[in-house]
Every structure is written in structure tokens, then in C-alpha cells.
Amino acid sequence: YIAFMTTQIEEYLNSNRREAKNKDEEHIPSLAEYAAQRPLFSGGRLSIALTAVGMGTDFSDLSEAWAKTARIRELAEQLIVITNDLFSFEKEKKAGDYHNWISLLVIHQGMTEDKAREYLIAEHARLLKEFMEQDAEWTQQYNPDNDLVLAILKQVKYKVSGVVDWSIKDTVRYSK
């Protein structure tokens, strides 16, 4: 697990360096580049990876359940990223920061800000639907052998809902 977390932290730091370099060099990332890097520099992936730390069990015990939850953890990362970008767009726009899905859709796809926002909200809804379907598959067919899977899902759901709560109630980061 230490090797896994070391890799996660290194990816987070390297991605943040890449984002800073992009800003310094005024490099506007492609949509594909942004999609690949956003979960890393946002901390979304790191947050989800840290799930195992809070579970009070050895990571080797979690490995099978961790593998089984790969897709729902990926969906959670994407939901976190989109939520952050929806809330942060206006502030980032004022700062001239184009590291945001809405800005990049405007730049690369020629969408209006409203259309880009609508597209992103629809994408969030699509991902959330899949997330909830995945969750329902595990929770509606209870099997004691899947207790660790259910524990991971619970922690991941806390992280996704926590991002929204933090964005709305706790931070001034996204204030206009």
C-alpha cells in the first residue's frame, strides 16, 4: 500500500507541476490532456485513493474489493472534477485560468459558456446515473463476502457528497 500511495502522491505533485507550467507558459491543454490530468491535479484521485487509509484494515485485505470497485471509484473521481469545475468556473474565468472544463469546451468546441455548462451538467447527470447504478448493484444484492466492497463504496460516497457540501457551505474559494 505504501508503494501505491507513493505513486498516487507523486502523480498528484507531478500533475500540479504540469498545471503550473501550463499556466506559466500560457499553454491551453487539449480536452484529452485535461481529461487525463484533471483527476490528478485536482486531488480527486488522491482523495479516492486515501479511502483505504480510513478503513482501518490492511490494504492487502482490501486488494480484491479495491479491484472490484475500480469503475465506481473512477466515476467518483469524474464527479468530483466536474463538480469542482462547475463551482469554480466564474472565479477561474475572472482570473484568466482556463484549467476548467467549461473554458476548454468554449475554446476547443466553440460552445457558448451556457452550452458548455449545460453539456457539463448533462455529463455529470450521466456519470451520476452510472455511479448510482453501480452502487445499487452492490447494495441491493447483499452478500457478506462483499463487506469490504460496501465499506469502500460508503467511503467513496462520503467523498463525493463531501465535495459538494464543501463547495457550497465551507469554502470561499468559489465565491465570486
CA-to-CA dists, residue 111 to 23, 83, 91, 116, angstroms: 22, 19, 19, 6
Tell whether the model's pLDDT for residue 160 goes beyond 70: yes
- Cα–chain center distance at 138: 21
Which tens digit of pLDDT belongs to each residue from 118-159? 999 999 999 999 999 999 999 998 888 899 999 999 999 999
How many alpha carbons lie under 13 Å from residue 40 in its C-beta half-sphere?
A: 19
Which tens digit of pLDDT belongs to each residue from 19-44? 999 999 999 999 999 999 998 888 88
| Residue written as grid cell 448533462 | 122
